[in-house]
Amino acid sequence: MNREQKRMMQRQGQVGADGAASSRRATPQDVQRRRSQRARPAQFVREVREEMRQVAWPSRPELINYTTIVLFVLVFMTALIFGLGFGFSKFVTFLFTK
């Protein structure tokens, strides 16, 4: 279980702060308290920027290489599926016309 799942389960009252299963139901006061603990939009944007800095972004040559591979596979698979569909349709019409 990752940190985000644990926080979500804590907000829902399924687990306690220590990670142990909780058997109590959430009261209206708990719900109101959780709503007041939500991140503000500015804090959310700061956290998103912080997370995006940790992403391992590809270099330009890697990006061009990956894009070329994806486009080639896309064209190949499209042609393959079209060819198989066209071939099977011709075969089926050949079977039923005789």
- What residue type is 80 in one-letter code? L
Q: Which of 36-40, 75-79, 83-87 is least confident?
A: 36-40
pTM value? 0.49
For residues 95 and 80, state if they share a domain: yes
**Number of domains composing the chain:** 2
For residues 44 and 63, state if they share a domain: no
Q: Which residues pair with 21 in a beta bridge?
A: 15
* pLDDT tens digit sequence for 3-44: 787 777 777 777 766 666 665 666 777 777 777 777 788 988
For residues 71 and 45, state if they share a domain: no
With 90 as the cut, is the pLDDT of residue 53 above it? yes
CA atoms within 13 A on the CB side of 14: 6
Question: What is the domain extent for residue 86?
Answer: 58-98
For residues 14 and 51, state if they share a domain: yes
For residues 65 and 94, state if they share a domain: yes
Residue 17, token pair as written in the block: 């702060």
For residues 64 and 36, state if they share a domain: no
Q: How far is CA 49 from the centre of its chain?
A: 18
For residues 63 and 33, state if they share a domain: no
